[in-house]
Chain A
Amino acid sequence: MALINLKINGKAHSVDVEEDTPLLWVLRDHLGLVGTKYSCGIAQCGACTVHRNGEAMFSCITPAASLTEDEITTIEGLSEDGDHPVQKAWAEVDVAQCGYCQAGQIMNASAFLNKNSAPSMEEIDEAMNKNICRCGTYHKIREAVAMAANSK
């Protein structure tokens, strides 16, 4: 076991876990931040996407111990009141079916739009191809990303 210091959503946290523990399980089991989802655990689906210094990252394969110098943002910390432009677009377009994949989708989309604020539809498709939605909400995801880009 090792004491790991993390900065998540602007707050300092210290957790005592095995060094190989992925950030995902630190968030979910130790910090009660369950908005970040587990689905594949092998960097294939994007359900676990968080931001590391503003960049999208799969938290299921990244040991928390490797992130002590970084600013981590999870869905809970993306905005104060759920009013990030991407969250607003998601609500406006009514994107969710079951909703399980959507935190990861939103985190990927928001990191992507930080880098590319005026993406083409092809660029949106390319960026969002990392996240699986088993319910098939792809059309609405695409529409919401485009809407968020235009609203900024």
Chain B
Amino acid sequence: MATLTKTNRRDFLKIAGTTAGGLFIGFNWMSCDSPKMEVLSTEEILGQAKNFNAFLSISPTGDIVIYSPNPELGQNIKTSFPMVVAEELDADWKKVRVLQANLDTDKFERQLTGGSGAMPHSWERLRKAGATAKHLLVAAAAKKWEVSAEELTTSEGVIYHKSSGKKIGYGEVANDAALLTAPEEITLKDKKDFKIIGTPVKNVDNGAIFTGKPLFGLDFYREGMLHAMIQRAPFGMKIKSIDDAAARNVAGVKDVVTFENSVAVVGTSTWPLMKAKKLLKVEYEADGKVESSSDHDQIFKDLLANGKTEVKREDGNVKAAFKNAAQVVTAEYQCPFLSHSPMEPMNFFAHVKENSVELVGPTQTPESARKTAAEVSGIAPENITVEITRLGGGFGRRLRADYVAEAVHVSKMMNAPVKLTWSREDDLTGGAYRPAVRYRFEAALDADGNMTGYKLRGVGMNAGNSTRENNFPAGAVDNVLIENINYESSITTNAWRAPITNFLAYAEQSFLDEVATAAKKDPVEFRLELYEKAKANPVGGELQYNVDRMIAVTKTAAEKSNWGKKSNVKQGISVYFSHRTYVAQVADIEMENGTPTLKKIHVVTDCGMVVNPTGANHQVRGGVVDGMGHAMFGNLTFEGGLPTQTNFDKYRLIRMKEVPEVDTYYLDSGYDPTGLGEPCLPPTGGAIANAIFSATQRRLRSQPFIDQTEFQDINLKIKRA
């Protein structure tokens, strides 16, 4: 059904012709009430052109430009956002050009990349923007032909009047449309009439990427700019003394400057700085906790046993449930710190001038980049511009503006435009990691193998809340206790793709497998029983997840993977809800000449409607590859406040030969689209570990797998079908 929806005029603040002619709509992603549509003169448009960041413009030639506000780091938002606008506009996709918008907090709301939240946030706003523009174009054509707008139809950028056989392109009526007033209400398309949404539309930047055009922050160049690299202190230490004589002697080095706890070498190109940095002699002394991974192992044990806990959730009578249990299952799970390691290392360009700052570079959150620059430079945020480049990956690391602050410091001290570059070693040692966490799970079972009690205690290193207390199985078990302990470490942490759930999902889904085994139940049946219980009688109030969608992905995954029906295939299942999306995965391990061989992962995703199938497949398979890679190999350990793995020779990332087949299925439950950048990662480790258990009876309770003695003699092979 087509839906009639309020336009909220503030979303279409300014409509007018451009100098070159054409329709120019500044559609605002904000949703506050505001009175009247303004129509601007050409002069006003020109004068305020910089204000039109959030817009869609249609030129007299019919070319359409759509600005994309959110930073693009591979989640494909720069393609999928404009698809939604173009759909409601009935545009000819071939005539749409997409440009990255700069930071503009007046025009955009939520101009950031994180939390898989962009599409759910903007879905309706984008549709209305396209639909309103179409309405105005049709109205202009109706006026011109002196017919009723109802008699007109649109397709691929052309308006048709069937009975007279007339037709006209959007570009030709764009000027007239600009003089009309936007409607109060607008009809959105029936989803079944979608022509662009739901079709595989290729990445709009493919051409530039595949020919090596300068798109990324590291590619940015400004005449006369200086380069900088920085030596940072180990965690928990501060600078005691600096000897920079040898570094200064390197040809191409201009200066060595110190700020806060950092030493910056500044020069005219990158290579001399890489050499100079190695020649810096900086002595450090303790300034807090100087930690090593061996200390962490002890801290985890002590805190799990005796730490002061914060109760996150308590249902029923947990004590009684465990006292009366026929059987209790207990297990502990641990994960290490991880680096984000996007392929493009951190970098940023800053030019601090007398009363303004210019920033250019890769950031997931341009607004906090600006705020940070304001703090460091003392210049008001309104005088700071942020140009967002394409990001060579982010994974959460570029939500932090530490490297922006560094670029601003150095530019200010050098009184010059500066591009700061982190080496790979800087990237691995520069902090803000996925926190290390250890969990203890306990389950109480009655004589029939029903889970009557569930306890989870998490200890995280700067993890904040290491639990997600309202996630399944909460709601499905009568007696639940979820507790958290946060250890304050000197090692900095940050959101890392699917924060917390990137390991919690693994631990929980593996533990549930242990409980199912103890209860002598099939892992799929065991889960379905719990869902049914949550559905019939949710414990602790309204469920925070949609149990029907959970059931649907689980059943579909069992069906698509032929769960339990292939005698030579050992399987593991894992189901997780995060970032508004439901995902079930089944891993297949085949025994080949006695060797367990990981062949395939089946993935069933319910993210509502799929906007762009090719982009969705990227996120699903990319999430699985990421989840698998880090579960298998990812490990960042510390010695005396310094990471032991400083480059990709020791810090193992997954490679081509280590990737199994991934089969993807989508369940369209009729909901609006949710995000896909994160939710396919959390279930993967659990599906693989559970399949490994099924094949070998070895239970992997820590990551990375390759460091576990239980794993080493299994000789797991990975082979694509």
Over the window 67-91 of chain A, the binary record of Cβ atoms lying under 8 Å from chain B Cβ atoms (1 yes, 0 no) is 0000000111011001000010011
Q: Which residues of A contact B160 (CB under 8 A)?
A: none
**Closest Cβ of chain A: how far from B276's Cβ, in Å?**
11
Known: A82-B211, A87-B210, A99-B215. A132 touches B271 (CB 8 A): no
A98 to B626, CA, bound (A): 14
CB contact list, A19-52 vs B, under 8 A? 20-22, 25, 28-30, 32-42, 44-45, 47
Residues B271 and A29 in contact, CB atoms below 8 Å apart: yes
A94 to B343, CA, bound (A): 19
Q: Which residues of B contact A126 (CB under 8 A)?
A: 657
Residues B210 and A32 in contact, CB atoms below 8 Å apart: no
Known: A40-B648, A128-B656. A90 touches B206 (CB 8 A): yes
CB contact list, B227-266 vs A, under 8 A? 227, 251-252
Q: Which of A28, A29, A32, A37 contacts B343 (CB 8 A)?
A: A37
**Closest Cβ of chain A: how far from B102's Cβ, in Å?**
20
A18 to B206, CA, bound (A): 35
Q: Which residues of A contact B618 (CB under 8 A)?
A: 94, 97, 135, 137, 140
Q: Which residues of A contact B623 (CB under 8 A)?
A: 136
Q: Which of B76, B221, B657 contacts A129 (CB 8 A)?
A: B657
Q: Which residues of A contact B76 (CB under 8 A)?
A: 97
A3 at the interface (CB under 8 A from B): no
Segment with Cβ contacts to A, from B197-205, B293-301, B566-574: B197-205
Residues A25 and B656 in contact, CB atoms below 8 Å apart: no
A129 to B425, CA, bound (A): 22
A6 at the interface (CB under 8 A from B): no
B653 at the interface (CB under 8 A from A): yes
Residues A82 and B341 in contact, CB atoms below 8 Å apart: no
Number of A-B contacts (CB under 8 A): 179
CB contact list, B342-379 vs A, under 8 A? 342-345
Residues B206 and A98 in contact, CB atoms below 8 Å apart: no
Pick from A29, A131, A134, A139 the residue with the most CB of B within 10 Å.
A134
Pick from B72, B275, B625 the residue with the most CB of A within 10 Å.
B625
**Closest Cβ of chain A: how far from B322's Cβ, in Å?**
41
Residues A90 and B210 in contact, CB atoms below 8 Å apart: yes
Residues A136 and B629 in contact, CB atoms below 8 Å apart: yes
**Closest Cβ of chain A: how far from B471's Cβ, in Å?**
25
A111 at the interface (CB under 8 A from B): no
A1 at the interface (CB under 8 A from B): yes
* CB closest residue in chain A, given B628: A136
Residues B656 and A141 in contact, CB atoms below 8 Å apart: yes
Residues B216 and A94 in contact, CB atoms below 8 Å apart: no
Known: A18-B251, A21-B271. A94 touches B659 (CB 8 A): no
Q: Which of B210, B341, B622 contacts A97 (CB 8 A)?
A: B622
**Closest Cβ of chain B: how far from A127's Cβ, in Å?**
9
B392 at the interface (CB under 8 A from A): yes
**Closest Cβ of chain B: how far from A15's Cβ, in Å?**
10
Residues A45 and B271 in contact, CB atoms below 8 Å apart: no
Known: A76-B211, A129-B655, A134-B342. A96 touches B205 (CB 8 A): yes
B662 at the interface (CB under 8 A from A): yes
A41 to B427, CA, bound (A): 12
B73 at the interface (CB under 8 A from A): yes
A37 to B655, CA, bound (A): 18
Residues A125 and B74 in contact, CB atoms below 8 Å apart: no
Residues B343 and A34 in contact, CB atoms below 8 Å apart: no
A103 at the interface (CB under 8 A from B): yes
Known: A41-B423, A137-B618, A140-B618. A94 touches B344 (CB 8 A): no
Q: Which residues of A contact B647 (CB under 8 A)?
A: 40-42, 44
A118 at the interface (CB under 8 A from B): no
Residues B202 and A136 in contact, CB atoms below 8 Å apart: no
Residues A42 and B74 in contact, CB atoms below 8 Å apart: no
B720 at the interface (CB under 8 A from A): yes
Q: State the main secondary structure of chain A at its contact with B.
A: loop
Residues A94 and B270 in contact, CB atoms below 8 Å apart: no
A29 to B655, CA, bound (A): 29
Q: Which residues of B contact A139 (CB under 8 A)?
A: 621, 659, 662
A21 to B275, CA, bound (A): 10
Residues B655 and A99 in contact, CB atoms below 8 Å apart: no
B269 at the interface (CB under 8 A from A): yes
A57 at the interface (CB under 8 A from B): no
A79 to B219, CA, bound (A): 21
Pick from B206, B216, B624, B629 the residue with the most CB of A within 10 Å.
B206
Known: A91-B206, A134-B343. A99 touches B251 (CB 8 A): no
A30 to B397, CA, bound (A): 29
Residues A135 and B211 in contact, CB atoms below 8 Å apart: no
A82 to B269, CA, bound (A): 29
A78 to B210, CA, bound (A): 10
* CB closest residue in chain A, given B627: A136
Q: Which residues of A contact B648 (CB under 8 A)?
A: 39-40, 42, 44-45, 132
B120 at the interface (CB under 8 A from A): no
A100 to B520, CA, bound (A): 48
* CB closest residue in chain B, given A38: B218
A18 to B268, CA, bound (A): 12
Known: A1-B251, A82-B207. A100 touches B621 (CB 8 A): no
Over the window 420-435 of chain B, the binary record of Cβ atoms lying under 8 Å from chain A Cβ atoms (1 yes, 0 no) is 0001100000000000
Residues A96 and B213 in contact, CB atoms below 8 Å apart: no
Residues B210 and A106 in contact, CB atoms below 8 Å apart: yes
Pick from B212, B394, B618, B653 the residue with the most CB of A within 10 Å.
B212
B180 at the interface (CB under 8 A from A): no
A13 to B468, CA, bound (A): 58
Residues B424 and A98 in contact, CB atoms below 8 Å apart: no
Over the window 90-129 of chain A, the binary record of Cβ atoms lying under 8 Å from chain B Cβ atoms (1 yes, 0 no) is 1100101111111100100000000000000100011011
Q: Which of B212, B345, B625, B720 contacts A38 (CB 8 A)?
A: B345
Residues B210 and A96 in contact, CB atoms below 8 Å apart: yes
A149 at the interface (CB under 8 A from B): no
A32 to B220, CA, bound (A): 10
A76 to B200, CA, bound (A): 28
Q: Which residues of B contact A44 (CB under 8 A)?
A: 647-649
Known: A37-B344, A76-B212, A99-B215. A131 touches B656 (CB 8 A): yes
Q: Which of B252, B390, B625 contacts A99 (CB 8 A)?
A: B390
Q: Which residues of B contact A135 (CB under 8 A)?
A: 74, 343, 393, 618, 622, 626
B272 at the interface (CB under 8 A from A): yes
Residues B210 and A91 in contact, CB atoms below 8 Å apart: yes
B181 at the interface (CB under 8 A from A): no
**Closest Cβ of chain B: how far from A97's Cβ, in Å?**
3
A76 to B213, CA, bound (A): 8
B209 at the interface (CB under 8 A from A): yes
A94 to B214, CA, bound (A): 19
Residues A18 and B252 in contact, CB atoms below 8 Å apart: yes
Q: Which residues of A contact B75 (CB under 8 A)?
A: 97
A33 to B623, CA, bound (A): 32
Residues B216 and A100 in contact, CB atoms below 8 Å apart: yes
A38 to B75, CA, bound (A): 22
A103 to B343, CA, bound (A): 12
* CB closest residue in chain B, given A87: B210
Q: Which residues of B contact A132 (CB under 8 A)?
A: 343, 648, 653, 655
Over the window 381-399 of chain B, the binary record of Cβ atoms lying under 8 Å from chain A Cβ atoms (1 yes, 0 no) is 0000000001111110000
A-B contact pairs, 13 of them (CB 8 A): A25-B271, A35-B214, A39-B424, A42-B647, A78-B211, A87-B211, A90-B206, A96-B205, A102-B209, A102-B210, A103-B210, A134-B341, A139-B662
> Besides A37-B343, A97-B393, 17 other CB < 8 A contacts?
A17-B269, A18-B272, A22-B271, A34-B212, A35-B213, A45-B343, A78-B211, A82-B210, A94-B202, A97-B618, A98-B390, A98-B393, A101-B392, A102-B209, A126-B657, A134-B653, A137-B622
The 8 closest A-B pairs by CB, nearest first: A35-B212, A136-B625, A100-B392, A98-B74, A97-B74, A75-B212, A99-B209, A44-B648
